[in-house]
Amino acid sequence: METIEINKIEAIVRYERLQDVQDALDEIGVSGLNVTEVKGCGRQKGYTEHYRGSQANISLLPKLKVESVVPAEITDRVVEAIVAAAYTGETGDGLLFVLPVSEVVRIRTGERGVDTIRHKTPAGWGY
Amino acid sequence: MDLIASTSLAGLKGSLDSTNVALDTLWVVAAAILVMFMQAGFAFLEMGFSRQKNVGTVIAKVVMNFSICAVVFWAVGFAFGFGAGGSILGYTGFALHSSDVAKDFPGLAFSDVGLSAKWWFEFVFCAVSLAVVWGTTLERIKFSVYFIYAIVFSAIIYPLIAHWLFSGGWLAASLGSQDFAGSTVVHLTGATGALAVLLLLGPRRGKYGPDGKPNVIPGHSMPFVGLATFILWFGWFGFNPGSTLSALSSTGANGDIRFADIVLVTNIAAACGVLGALTTIWLKTRKPDIGMACNGAIAALVAITAPSGYVNPWAATIIGFVAGIIVVLGVLAIDRVLDDPVGALSAHGLAGIWGTLACGLFTDPTLAKLNGVGQGGFVYTGSLHQLGAQAVAVGASFATVFAISFATFFAIKATIGLRVRPEEESYGLDMAEHGMWGYPEQFMPVPGYEYHQPAPPAGRPAPRPAPVGLGTSEGVP
């Protein structure tokens, strides 16, 4: 069986934890991430909207989906960093998934493989 | 010596008179400009209570309605409403053509301002009344309906009721029904048209579930609703105080200038309306609803419109507070059966009826005498006579406006139709009726991008002409 070299991490987190998650990922050298606004439900359930004397149950809550593709050897550190940064202890902190990725291509150069996503500090980066 | 003195005195009186006319005209024109700005209030109120896909159409509608009303009310409406003639309708002064203004427009002869100022003031009232009509029709009516009904409304419906109550028609002259600035003439008339169209139009798709229970369709912007409320409240200081049609008329008490008294009465009522509405909705749901707070202010302003020149501030607190209660209970009750997104039926209809009837309870006999219409209300006189006259005014106006409006909308429904097609309604009137979004960047694929004119690059398929089911009968590609 082929060993997994690359993983994709999908974390559903609270809006207000995003900055901490990003800071934590920066610290351990994750080279990139995507953030998407999503609506979903889980154990937190929804909330009640009051409008002109009527009520509506809104079952889907807004969350952020943070996706990052990372080399397999740092996956555990990344998972720990995200969990620590996104944690509040209240229901609704979200979930995190790890998925194997079979290939990565950098569109500009055509470069392939796990080295494509290894972190390099960009030239002129401030710190 | 005497001759010189009397000549210069006469000259002095002449220049004082012309100064008075200038002051009165300045106030009347300025007050009407405040009322004109209420169009922005109606636009923002309706947009705030609509969803994002149906905002642009509101702007197009308000701008077009105001313009149709201006032309039609100038050409015929003003003559029907305020011209000389019978006690039912006037018929002199079409297109403001008049050789003797006092004779051709006797109902407005009490004011010394010129004909242009009188027309401008009465026109903006007609435009407000027309704007009220459309509050119940949001998010599903065909744009062409606005155009047709606006003509009928400005030509005949509004002028009829205005003649009866504002211009010495049968309600004011024979019965002594009091309506200082138009709780019935402007607001009940508008709301009655709104009821007539709503009964024929039906609710928005999805408003009522299969079990008949109402669903919540939240409006997209409570800040718009708040802005609208303050614009309307602001405009009402032209609406009521301007209805003196004079800057200088005084109650005689303490040398007070009347319009300032009416400013006070108007503002107190509005404030109490907010408190009445907030109290009521809080007692019912334990939430101080944002839209209801705003509706409370508007309902109270509607209610104080008829009594504003007839009652004292203490009565305005009651009229306003009760209007706030009425609008909340009205919105909650009406929502179960009729889909009225902005609450026009309650805020303008029920509150308009309450305000008109309130004259029969709270009119101060000295103010009734000053206005020369009717007599004191129940709390001063112990007589229900005035209340009866007010009830007749409400009943007659409602029945007349409802009959003509229902007939007009029925004819429109039978010919070109009132509603857009279901798929157009789902898609939104901005795109279905106007071909453009009110908020393009909410809907077009990439915010902040520039879009090409159709000619596609070679080898690419032509862009799809219209979204699914829209514009053409071809349907889905």
Q: Tens of pLDDT along B361-418? A: 999 999 999 999 999 999 999 999 999 999 999 999 999 999 999 999 999 999 999 9
pLDDT on residue B465: 55
Q: What's residue B462's pLDDT?
A: 61
Q: Do B287 and A50 count as a contact with CB atoms less than 8 A apart?
A: yes
Residue type, B409: F
- Stretch B120-130: mean pLDDT: 98
Lowest-confidence pick of A117-121, B258-262, B382-386, B465-469: B465-469
Cβ-based neighbour number of residue B173 at 10 Å: 16
Q: Residue A51: list chain B partners with CB under 8 A.
A: 216, 218, 289, 291
**DSSP bridge partners of B269:** none
In B, which residues are within 8 Å of A47 by CB distance? Answer: none
Least confident of A23-32, B273-282, B389-398: A23-32
Where is pLDDT greater, at A65 or A30? A65
Burial code (b: 16+ CB inside 10 Å, e: under 16) for B122-137 equals bbbbbbbbbbbbbbbb
Residue B46 near residue B135, CB atoms below 8 Å: yes
- pLDDT tens digit string along B189-216? 999 999 999 999 999 999 999 999 999 9
Residue B475 has pLDDT above 50, yes or no: no
Task: Residue B328: list chain A partners with CB under 8 A.
Answer: 53
- pLDDT tens-place string over residues B126-180: 999 999 999 999 999 999 999 999 999 999 999 999 999 999 899 999 999 999 9
Average predicted confidence (pLDDT) for chain A = 90
Q: Would you state the structure tokens that stand for residue B201, as one six-digit string?
A: 């139009």
Whether B302 contacts B347, CB under 8 Å: yes
Instruction: Give contacts of A53 with chain B, Cβ < 8 Å.
Output: 281, 284-285, 289, 292, 328, 331-332, 335
Is the pLDDT assigned to residue A124 strictly greater than 90? no
> Among B83, B122, B86, B88, which Cα is nearest to B106's?
B83
pLDDT of B11 strictly over 90? no
| In chain B, % of residues over pLDDT 90 | 84
Cβ-based contacts under 8 A for chains A and B? 33
Mean pLDDT across chain B: 92
Q: What is the mean pLDDT of residues B62-79?
A: 97
Is residue B430 over pLDDT 80? yes
Q: Which of A49, A53, A50 is nearest to B329 (CA)?
A: A53
At residue B476, the pLDDT reads 40
Residue B297 banded pLDDT, cuts 50, 70, 90:
very high
- Other C-beta atoms closer than 10 Å to the C-beta of B32 total 23
Q: How far is residue A75's CA from residue B179's CA, in Å, rounded to a whole number? A: 77
Going by the DSSP 8-state scheme, the letter that residue B66 receives in this structure is H
Mean pLDDT along residues A106-117: 91
Residue A76 confidence (pLDDT) above 60: yes
With tokens 């439900």, the residue in question is A41
Closest C-alpha among B249, B288, B298 to residue B46: B298
Phi (first) and psi of residue B243, to 5 degrees = -70, -5
Write the residue in B216, B284, B328 that is nearest to A51 by C-beta.
B216
Q: Check if B216 contacts A (Cβ < 8 Å).
A: yes
The answer to whether residue A109 neighbours chain B at the CB level (below 8 Å) is no
Structure tokens at B334: 């009406």
Among the residue ranges B38-52, B77-91, B272-286, B431-445, the one predicted with the least confidence is: B431-445
Q: What's the pLDDT band for B467 if we cut at 50, 70, 90? A: low
Token pair recorded at residue B410? 């029925």
**DSSP β-bridge partners for residue A12:** A65
What predicted TM-score, i.e. pTM, was given to this entire model? 0.89
Q: Is the pLDDT of residue B455 over 80?
A: no
Least confident of B53-67, B270-284, B349-363, B441-455: B441-455
B163, HSE (Cβ side, Cα atoms, 13 Å): 26
Task: Express each pLDDT in B305-359 by its tens digit.
Answer: 999 999 999 999 999 999 999 999 999 999 999 999 999 999 999 999 999 999 9
- Written as one string, the DSSP assignment of A19-74 is HHHHHHHHHTT----EEEEEEE-STT--EEEEETTEEEEE--EEEEEEEEEEEGGG
Is B218's CB within 8 Å of A49's CB? yes
d(CA B238, CA B315): 21
pLDDT of res. A56? 86
Model pLDDT, residue B37: 98
* pLDDT-based confidence at residue A30 (cuts at 50, 70, 90): confident
CA dihedral for B203, B207, B209, B214, sign (positive or negative): negative
What phi, psi does B475 have (nearest 5°)?
Answer: 80, -150
